[in-house]
Amino acid sequence: MIIAERKPMKELLGMISGVKRLLIVGCRGCVAVCSAGGDKEVSILAAALKLGVKKAGGDIEIDTDTLVRQCDPEYIEPLNDRGSDYDAVLSMACGVGVNFIGDRCPDVNVLPALNTTFYGANLSSGEWKEMCAGCGACVLHLTGGLCPVARCAKSLSNGPCGGSQGGRCEINPDVDCIWQQIYDKLASMNRKDELREIMPIRDWTTAGHGGPRRRIREDLLP
Amino acid sequence: MSRIKGFCCNYTLSVDIEALKKEGLVPEDLEIERLPCTGRLEVPEILDAFTEGADAVFVVGCQVDKCHNLSGSYRASKRVKYAKKILEELDINPDCVEMFFAGRGETEPVVEAARTMASRVDQ
């Protein structure tokens, strides 16, 4: 899922400086699952901003809502009517939701409440880890399902660098060297000889270096 | 006079708070909200108490391993911890909110919690 985290309170208070009527809009998609922008986080943020504005001597009226998703038009387009009644709409979705409101709701002053951080998995309650870089050219079939693009600090394609020591990455001793793990995994599956095959130079245009990406399925188009 | 708001569960406060005030055992401007269980308390309620004028907020739940609802007071303590983080971000002293634990029907820890918070505000 997409992992995000709330922006620092001071940044948010600066963003809504001068706003008298604010609508905070959560999302029940990924950001609800990673406890960043679901119903609960919306109510916490509303209470925190009210307190912050009051402490600064101001006054603000805050309404809240949480949409099923903010990345589908049917859920956000009602904001065209409703959102324009507010000085600002603070979206607690990932950057996709904020952009989509920005695109589709021209009269809405949309602001981001979250920093969108990575595609990750839930390790335990309150802990998430990056697992995918969304690079658009998956090589997981060659690496035992472990991604060297997202999980190697240098996104190396053909084995570890010299900074791999004792199975750890040189950037931080708490970070596993993913190439050590790939080797161990393939070795345990009697597939380590596959690592002798040199991966070709990657075409990074699929990773966003060729501009915004778009996917089309002709059979689903209207 | 400092305004103190306390949230207590049904099991940690068995006496009338007004009686405690009359005896001078707790600050006069203490308001207590009794909950079925402190596990029901959410972060916005803590923050709203400050917005509504409280100078300090405390929560008294059952001892962690003796909560009537198993993990209610533990959950409350985690919410208090998160409320502290938000207060800190807002440049409000995080010590203005605190979690306390008490045995069933014990009044003394509640009195002590109220006094502790009043003294923190006075500092």
- Residues in A closer than 8 angstroms to B47, CB to CB, are 44, 47-48, 50-51
B93 reaches A (C-beta below 8 A): no
Which residue, A182, A176, A177, is CA-closest to A197? A182
pLDDT digits over A137-184, tens only?
999 999 999 999 999 999 999 999 999 999 999 999 999 999 999 999
CATH of A2-118, one of 1.10.20, 2.40.50, 3.40.50, 1.10.3470: 3.40.50
Q: What is the mean pLDDT of each run of 10 residues along chain A (222 residues)?
A: 98 98 98 98 98 97 98 96 94 98 96 98 96 96 97 96 96 96 98 95 89 94 96
pLDDT recorded at residue B48: 98
Q: What is the rounded CA–CA span in Å between residue A2 and residue A117?
A: 8
B82 contacts on A by Cβ (under 8 Å):
44
- What is the complex's ipTM, to 2 decimals? 0.94
What distance in Å separates the CA atoms of residue A160 and residue A177, rounded to the nearest whole number? 7
Residue burial A72-103, b: 16+ Cβ < 10 Å; e: rest: eeebbeebeeebeebebbbbbbbbbbbbbbbe
B48: chain A residues, CB-CB within 8 Å: 47, 50-51
- Looking at residue B38, what is its pLDDT? 95
Beta strands (DSSP E) in A68-159 are 88-91, 110-112, 114-124, 127-132
Q: Point out the residue among A8, A40, A51 whose CB comes nearest to the CB of B50.
A: A51
Domain residue ranges of chain A, discontinuous segments joined by + = 2-118, 134-207
Structural domains of chain B sorted by starting position, each given as residue range(s) with its CATH number in brackets: 4-122 (3.40.50)
Q: What secondary structure, in 3-state letters, does B61-88 show?
A: EECHHHCCCCCHHHHHHHHHHHHHHHHH
- pLDDT higher for A15 or B107? A15
**What is the structure's pLDDT at B91?**
98
Alpha helices in chain B (DSSP H): 17-22, 43-51, 72-89, 108-122
Is the Cβ pair B47, A50 closer than 8 Å? yes
- Asked if B91 and B109 count as a contact pair (C-beta separation under 8 A), the reply is no
pLDDT for residue B99 is more than 90: yes
> With contacts defined as CB-CB under 8 Å, which chain A residues touch B89?
8-10, 48
Interval B7-60: pLDDT, tens: 999 887 777 888 889 988 999 999 999 999 999 999 999 999 999 999 999 999
The per-residue pLDDT of chain B, averaged, comes to 93
pLDDT at B17: 86
pLDDT of B90 reads 98
Nearest to A158 by CA among A143, A172, A170, A173: A143
* Alpha carbons A153 and B10: distance in angstroms, whole number: 52
CB contact B47 to A (< 8 Å): yes
Tell whether B18 lies on the interface with A, counting CB pairs under 8 A.
no
* Residue B118, token pair as written in the block: 């009043």
What is the reported pLDDT for B10? Answer: 85
| Residues of B whose CB is below 8 A from A51 | 47-48, 50-51, 90, 92
Q: For residue B77, what are its two tokens?
A: 């303590």
Q: How close does chain A come to B106, measured CA to CA in Å?
A: 31
How many A/B residue pairs have CB atoms within 8 Å? 39
Shortest CA distance from B85: residue in chain A: A9
Global pTM?
Answer: 0.94
Cα–Cα distance between A71 and A100 in angstroms, integer?
A: 6
